[in-house]
Structure 1
């Protein structure tokens, strides 16, 4: 079973986690033989209040969560407090140290940088925080024009909707291009911005 954990915290940006959740949970539901499980994890199972006011109940705490193969850290204004939360940063380091594929969406990359996980790697984040990413670790090769950057053990995505693209990339990486196309068709993800 491939276990995919999506991190929640107060102030998390809704689409940063819900976009990838939709992709990955659709994959798990539509293709049960692929043996994929997606769940949310937070410091407690108390309701999380997201950036735009949505309230969500996490599935697990860090202590009760299954062993994780993929960890997804979303962004949002709540990530700012996590940059100095040593217990949180140590959890990220511990996951990476166990061989977990660590991923981020939007400003979630700032937490990865603060944890030292982006040292000497290419990475991206939301366009409004690219400078902050470089400030956190001058060794990061900041890629402002990439929707997502896969540097092997770490994958970072740009802002909000780029997380959907990154999640489809994860389906490719963990299974196949064909499976990712099937998931994309199922969720009818065909971006055609009207503006």
Structure 2
């Protein structure tokens, strides 16, 4: 595939800082990472709902939803997983530039991919939220019956079973979703956002 070379980034008249000032809050990406079944989507949506209730501009980028459209051409090989995360990072950057708080709910199993996305953002704009839940509990929950299928060999390259998950080493936030309720998890995340004067 031939890549375009004669392109230039165009600065907009309205800046990210202008948008933040008008909205009355900061913007960032809350990058949720964790095993399937750990509670990423549930907690990300609960955070987004509370942001919305408080009048804060927000949006959720959900892993499954993105694969219905933007990334429907990608599979689950290591290469495709990396490209999936790269694209989401670029989309999240646009949301942050718009002055929104964007939550992403992707397994994003590889540290190098998450580090590459972090590089797209200014300091304090990329907040890695590790939804820490033991594999045994994720398998017990198994809302989509994916672990069952993976154990039977029906799903290849399934994270945690036959494909690795590299847990964050220094996440901004660690949520123990096997010990906290969804409401408690949201409170923990909001505490961080308030401490950093993002909201």
Could you tell me the TM-score, scaled by structure 1's length?
A: 0.42
Greater gyration radius: 2
Could you tell me the TM-score, scaled by structure 2's length?
A: 0.41
Structure whose residues are more often strand by fraction: 1
Relative contact order, CA 8 A, sep 6+: which one is greater? 2
